[in-house]
A = this chain, B = another copy of it.
C-alpha cells in the first residue's frame, strides 16, 4: 500500500490528476488510512498506468472508460474494443492530414516574406486574403475543432 505521491511517481501521473481521475470515476475510490489519506495497491497502479498510456496515445477519457468497462468481461469478443483503437488511429491520421495542409499553407505564407515593413508584409496580406490560398482549408473544408485546437 502506498500514498498518492508514491503512486504519482510510479505512474508518471500528477497527484491532482490522479484525484481528478477518481472524481470522474476513471479510478475507483481507494481506501484511506486513519488520517484520511488515500492508500493504493498494485491493481490501482496498473489501472492508472493503463489510463496514462491510453491518454498518451490520444484516447479520450470516454474511450478509456469504455475500454476499462470492456476489460471487465474478458470472455466477450474484442471487436468493439479493437474498433475504439482503430477509430483512434483514423482520428490521428485525419489530424495529421489536416495539420499537413496547414503546414503547407503556412510555409507558403512565410516563404513570401521579404523582411520589409509591416505595410507591405506578405504575411499580413496572406492572412487577410483567403483567396490567395491554394491549400484545402477553404471556408468549410476545416472546422477549427477538428484541428486539435479546441
B82 touches A144 (CB 8 A): no
Instruction: Count this chain's copies in the assembly.
Output: 2
* Contact A118/B73 with A58-B102, A89-B103, A124-B81 known, Cβ cut-off 8 Å: yes
Expressed in whole angstroms, the Cα–Cα distance for A115 and B83 within the complex equals 10
Of chain B, the residue at the smallest CB distance from A116 is: B78
Is A40 interfacial (CB 8 A cutoff)? no
Expressed in whole angstroms, the Cα–Cα distance for A50 and B132 within the complex equals 12
Interface string of A9-26 (1 = CB under 8 A from B): 000100000000000000
- A71 neighbours in B (Cβ, 8 Å): 118, 124
- A50 neighbours in B (Cβ, 8 Å): 127-128
Q: Choose from B46, B95, B120, B128 the contact partner of A99 (Cβ within 8 Å).
A: B95
Q: Choose from B12, B117, B128 the contact partner of A46 (Cβ within 8 Å).
A: B128
Interface residues of A in 93-130 (CB under 8 A from B): 93, 95-96, 99-100, 102-103, 105-107, 109-110, 113, 115-121, 123-124, 127-128, 130
* Contact A49/B106 with A56-B142, A78-B115, A99-B99 known, Cβ cut-off 8 Å: no
